[in-house]
Amino acid sequence: MANLNIDSIKERTFDAIVIGSGMSGGWAAKELTGNGLKTLMLERGRDVKHIKDYPTTNMYPWEFEHRGVIPTAVQEANPIVNRCYAFREDAEHFFVKDHEHPYVQEKPFDWIRGYQVGGKSLMWARQTQRWSDFDFEGPARDGFAVDWPIRYKDIAPWYSYVEKFAGIAGNKDGIPELPDGEFLPAYPLNDVEEYFSKHVKNNYQNRHVISARCAHLSKPNQVHIDQGRTQCQNRILCQRGCPFGGYFSANASTIPWALKSGNLTLRPFSVVQSIIYDDKLGKATGVRVVDSNTKETIEYFARIIFVNAAALNTNLVLLNSTSSRFPNGLGNDSGVLGKYFAFHNYSAHIGAQYDGFKDLTTDGRNPAGGGYIPRFRNVYKQETDFLRGYASGFSAYRFRQHKYDGVGAALKENMVKGDLGPWYVGSHMMGETIPKESNYVKLDASKKDEWGVPLLNINVDYDDNDEKMKKDYIEQLTKMFTSAGFTNIKPSVNHQAPGLDIHEMGGARMGNDPKTSILNKWNQVHACKNVFVTDGACMTSTSCQNPSLTYMALTVRAADHAVSEMKKGNV
């Protein structure tokens, strides 16, 4: 019996454990297994194998029972996830339904989740821009949060490393506040986007409209072909999973690569309850998992642990990992765990028309979605009554306009015929929010989920800075649109709750000082060096770039450090 037990522990012991299999967890697994570490990847949801488990990927519109529309009963049962733009009949199976994992909204918060192998990397919007020192130095310069413990030079080579493997389409634009990367050919701007780009360049200092940089294989290199991926076919059905591997996802890229090494054990249906901390050894020794099918509790052991459960669940796991050394959550000597939580402000949009380029249109589809306007507010100096700024999407498009009045043969004709309408242009804001102590998540005092884990209690809201920034976005974009000769300019604001941006960040922030942060400059828990947190939870500030590329770069950098520290015997 004793021997059996030893064997069982042996079978449950690995060099490394990665909690989560999405955007950042996939990279952790790829890097750790690539360095010869026997790695266990834990995923709370089901397995999703590349291509094989994309049931809708090759379906035509008419093959969907409701032609894409989510039935009312499902909408009414899922008010939260139903607000997500991608929750449609073709991809609804990749989204967590509201009842599947409840949480407490002290203030309204739309928590959009994908519990499956690959996580949200299957359905993400694929926009990938680097941060610069204007971002990393933000908190120190503007006096909020804490100073980032790293600068651009620390992460730049890792951005390159990630970009080469993932495949990022973009131009070298030479903009200091949005550093260039290792790019595949960009998806070009169309004529109206290009016109606006030139207009802005000629009329504004330090404002740019560039091709959006995105994780699509516009022209694959050998390393992408080696992953079994091929050129993006401009389907723009990415949220279904791509049979070509045309965009980057953990399913198409990092996880199969890690599996090929022979060093990865992938365990779906594994809800992590907590990380096990050994007071005597003074380090984490493993994780406690509930098998979501059998409800059995199982412990796994490893020398190092990467926490990549996605920002909110990572906070949940850390807060729930209590011991006599850490009664308030793993590594939470400072008391800041769960606090300084932030997100992106996506609450404004502006649309207009342009009467030029009547003889031109586009043909096919643009995976990049159009243009991107990097942050131009408060970049070189503070110039407004709010802190920080916003990036903006920008795109132009036109389409046939059909007449739908009347009935009969004429109506049928009109479904086919229809004049090409004018060019429409649109932009949406992506604003930085300021992490604050009063925006926090914590464990609910009484309610638990079906796996015995306390519910997450979320208390996050907008503030005055966000309101002022939104107003400025509308003013500035209106001016830029007006001076470009756009007409029928229609700004609009929405009142979406935080969370629907799906860029939740922070709670276990990086910092130099263990008294005010949870993680050090290598994403190691200050007080428990063999635990690494490299997903959105680690973010000290949010800047306004889409964050996934930065999570990926931080992950490979931390994994490299972890391997080197293991070799030195430091962890």
Q: Which 161-190 residues touch other proteins, going by CB under 8 A? A: 187-190
Q: Are strands 183-184 and 348-354 parallel, antiparallel or unpaired?
A: unpaired
Backbone angles phi, psi at 315, to 5 degrees: -60, -40
Among 544, 558, 565, smallest CA distance to 28 is for: 558
Residue pointed to by tokens 């770039």: 545
Q: Establish if 489 lies at the interface with other proteins (CB under 8 A).
A: no
* Binding characters for other proteins, 80-119, by CB under 8 A (x = yes): ---xxxxxx-------------------------------
492 binds other proteins (CB under 8 A): yes
User: Is residue 347 part of the contact set for other proteins (CB under 8 A)?
Assistant: yes
Candidates 201, 358, 447, 479; binder of other proteins (CB under 8 A) is 358
CB of 426 to other proteins, least distance (A): 6
Query: Should residue 73 be labelled a site residue for other proteins when binding is judged by CB under 8 A?
Result: yes
In the chain the first and final C-alpha atoms are separated, in Å, by 32
Q: Is 77 in the site for other proteins (CB under 8 A)?
A: no
488 part of the interface to other proteins, by CB under 8 A? no
Alpha helices in 170-310 (DSSP H): 191-203, 222-225, 254-260
233 lies in the binding site for other proteins (CB under 8 A): yes
Closest to other proteins by CB, 88 or 509: 88
Stretch that binds other proteins, among 31-39, 154-162, 235-243, 556-564 (CB under 8 A): 235-243
Q: Which is nearer to other proteins, 283 or 349 (CB)?
A: 349
From the list 47, 142, 191, 291, which residue makes contact with other proteins (rule: CB under 8 A)?
191
Q: What is the CA radius of gyration of the chain?
A: 24
- Rounded to an integer, what distance in angstroms lies between the CA atom of residue 33 and that of residue 52? 24
**Residue 234 found at the interface with other proteins (CB under 8 A):** yes
The binder of other proteins chosen from 69, 77, 140, 175 (CB under 8 A):
69
365 binds other proteins (CB under 8 A): yes
540 touches 146 (CB < 8 A):
yes
By the rule CB under 8 A, 1 interacts with other proteins: no
Among 526, 543, 525, residue whose Cα is nearest residue 534: 525
| Residue 445 touching other proteins (CB under 8 A) | no
Q: What is the contact mask toward other proteins in residues 4 to 43, using x (rule: CB under 8 A)?
A: ----------------------------------------
Which ranges in 66-185 belong to alpha helices (H)? 72-77, 133-136, 138-142, 152-166
Q: 192 to 221, contacts with other proteins by CB under 8 A?
A: 194
Shortest CB 58 distance to other proteins, Å: 7
Question: By CB under 8 A, which span of 5-13, 356-364, 434-442, 443-451 interacts with other proteins?
Answer: 356-364
When the beta carbons of 139 and 431 are compared against other proteins, the nearer one is: 431
By C-beta, is 423 or 522 nearer to other proteins? Answer: 423
How far apart, in whole angstroms, are the C-alpha atoms of residue 525 and residue 520? 6
Residue number with CB closer to other proteins (244 or 301): 244
Stretch touching other proteins by CB under 8 A, among 9-17, 157-165, 374-382, 492-500: 492-500
Q: Which residues contact 370 (CB under 8 A, 6 or more apart)?
A: 189, 190, 193, 212, 393, 394, 395, 396, 397
The DSSP string of 399-468 is -EE----S-SHHHHHHHH--EE--EEEEEEEEEE---BTTSEEEEEEEEE-TTSPEEEEEE----HHHHH
Tokens coding 204: 């504004």
CA pair distance 341, 344, nearest whole angstrom:
11
What minimum distance in Å lies between the beta carbon of 234 and other proteins?
5
Residue from 360, 382, 482, 483 touching other proteins (CB under 8 A): that is 360
Secondary element (H or E) of residue 3: helix 2-11
| Residue labelled with tokens 């599996």 | 259
Q: Rounded to whole angstroms, how far apart are CA atoms 536 and 184?
A: 26
Taking contact as CB under 8 A, which single stretch among the options 13-21, 31-39, 260-268, 364-372 is the one that binds other proteins? 364-372
Structure tokens of 236?
């723009």
Considering all CA atoms of the chain, what is the largest pairwise distance in Å, rounded to the nearest integer? 83
Q: How far is the CB of 125 from other proteins (least distance, A)?
A: 4
Residue with tokens 């464990």: 443
Q: Rule CB under 8 A: which of 398-437 touch other proteins?
A: 402, 404-409, 411-412, 415-417, 420, 426-428
Q: How far is the CB of 542 from other proteins (least distance, A)?
A: 16
What gap in Å lies between CA 178 and CA 212, rounded to an integer? Answer: 11
Which residue stretch of 43-51, 72-80, 133-141, 311-319 sits at the interface with other proteins (rule: CB under 8 A)? 72-80
Comparing CB distances to other proteins, the nearer of 67 and 381 is 67
Q: Is 351 in the site for other proteins (CB under 8 A)?
A: yes
Q: What's the min distance (Å) between Cβ of 212 and other proteins?
A: 9
Q: How many residues bind other proteins (CB under 8 A)?
A: 75
Site string for other proteins, 380-399 (x = CB under 8 A): -------------x-x----
Amino acid letter at 266?
Answer: L
Strands of 250-296, DSSP E: 264-267, 270-278, 283-291
